Amino acid sequence: MNANKSYGFGTRSIHAGHNKDAYGALCTPVYRTSTFEFKSCQHGADIFAGKELGFAYSRTGNPTVAEVEAKLANLEGGEAAIATASGMGAITAAIWTLIKAGDRIVADQTLYGCTFEFLSRHLPQLGVDVVFIDCSDEAQLKAALTDNTRIVYLETPANPNLKITDIRKVAGIVHGFKPEIKVICDNTFCSPFVQRPLELGADIVVHSATKYINGHGDLLAGFIITDADTINEMRVKGIKDMTGAMMQADEAALVIRGLKTLPLRMRQHCASAMEIAKFLESSDKIEKVFYPGLESFEGHEVAASQMDHFGGMLSFIVKGGRAAASRLCDSLELCTLAVSLGDAETLIEHPASMTHSTYTAEELREAGIDEGLVRLSVGLEDTEDLIDDFRQALEKI
């Protein structure tokens, strides 16, 4: 790529970060090695001291992994990135690097179940003060900020009810109170094709790249994207010394392959999700549909202001509660009953008993997660086939 030219997202998803090897390989080689040979003792010492760029051990860097890191940084608009072994690897490595006992984290109350478990159950045991609020409520956010606040953490759209938070507004309030506080946004539900939180004022973006970024359901991966200095600190503390959650070269090569089709896949995911959301909203057996693209959705206007598209995720509540929701899920023939999201296959799940089972009943209510809520990751099948599948399943309720 010509560094002096401005390329579109699709072009960058293919070419950004690519380094031609000595043999002219079109596809990125997989450097399946744990360690790297030094030219001399001084060469090794200089790499460890940070005086010279290079690779020493694959827990801190690998040529295949470095390429996918450069690609994600480019697509998200960040200076640098770290590729991790999973989404939770990214989240924990980022947070561990930034906090110490006595610090405060302000987190939105609607989060992925494992993130909520980490923040609500585990960090407080180590002396970290974690408070959960509705980050879209300006008064709650302002009241929660204190001198010892280090991180404000949110998802938008949030998992699983697609709750929208205005990233610009949150970042403005937080940085106005104390510029050093890091706003971390989980962008998994969107991918950088749909939304880029750094452009909206967030400081750090995290991803479960297991989902849309890879797109094929065949690996676990994660990313942290932010400024170069913070990434360097996280690579040493959060990855090398604390979690060891480094992405492997084989997974990096697969993510690179998946990214080449990210724009094509996301356009289809988004288009199908909109049609299915409209169909479900028209059904007299559905109580409510949660999808940012619907004008009836509470966060529609904010979503339209900060998202380029409305994504491939939606949720809905079936009339009749949890029993009716289970009946619907069990009656689907084409949609797959499974957790995760962002795959070619359409995946459906029941958050209260699956991905968000870490929440108590009271916590579910506070987070706005109905026990009858169903979460749908719309895949790449023909849209009309998916609608027909829902039509026949709804008739069985």
Give CB contacts under 8 A, 24+ apart, made by 36-39. none
**pLDDT tens across 54-64, in order?**
999 999 999 99
What pLDDT was estimated at residue 153?
Answer: 98
The four Cα atoms 96, 102, 107, 110 give a dihedral, to 10 degrees, of 90
Q: Catalytic annotation on 121?
A: no
Average pLDDT over residues 125-154: 98
- Kindly tell me if the per-residue pLDDT of 311 is higher than 90: yes
The arithmetic mean of pLDDT across residues 265-272, rounded, is 98
> Which pairing describes strands 286-290 and 313-318: parallel, antiparallel, or unpaired?
antiparallel
* CA 266 – CA 270 distance, rounded (Å): 6
Which position has the higher pLDDT, 198 or 370?
198
102, pLDDT greater than 90? yes
pLDDT score for 103? 98
First vs last Cα of the chain: how many Å apart?
A: 54
CATH architecture under which domain 9-259 falls: 3-Layer(aba) Sandwich (3.40)
Sorted by where each begins, the domain ranges of the chain are 9-259, 262-394
Annotated catalytic residue within 7, 46, 57, 59:
59
Omega into 160 within 30° of 0, i.e. cis?
A: yes
Alpha-carbon span 329 to 326, nearest angstrom: 5
pLDDT in tens, 26-35: 999 999 999 9
Contacts of 139 (CB under 8 A, 6+ apart): none
pLDDT at 40: 96
| Catalytic site residue from 108, 166, 186, 370 | 186
pLDDT at 133: 98
Q: Is 186 considered catalytic here?
A: yes
Residue 24, phi then psi, degrees to nearest 5: 75, 30
DSSP H stretches of helix in 208-248: 228-234
For 327-341, letters b (16+ CB in 10 Å) and e give ebbebbebbeeeebb
Q: How confident is the model over 192-196, as a mean pLDDT?
A: 98
Q: Which fold has domain 262-394?
A: Aspartate Aminotransferase, domain 1 (3.90.1150)
Q: Is 57 a catalytic residue?
A: no
Distances (CA, A) of 371 to 163, 256, 316, 347: 16, 37, 11, 18
Q: Provide the pLDDT for residue 21.
A: 85
For the segment 80-90, the average pLDDT, to the nearest whole number, is 98
Q: How confident is the model at residue 243 (pLDDT cuts 50, 70, 90)?
A: very high
Considering 104, 211, 235, 375, which one is annotated as catalytic? 211
Region 173-186 average pLDDT: 98
Q: Is 359 among the catalytic positions?
A: no
State pLDDT tens for residues 9-20: 999 999 999 988
pLDDT of residue 1: 82
Give the per-residue pLDDT at 43: 95
Catalytic residue among 12, 104, 108, 112: 112
pLDDT of res. 267: 98
Tens digit of pLDDT for each residue in 342-389?
A: 999 999 999 988 999 989 999 989 988 988 899 999 999 999 999 999
- pLDDT range class, residue 217, cuts 50, 70, 90: very high
pTM: 0.96
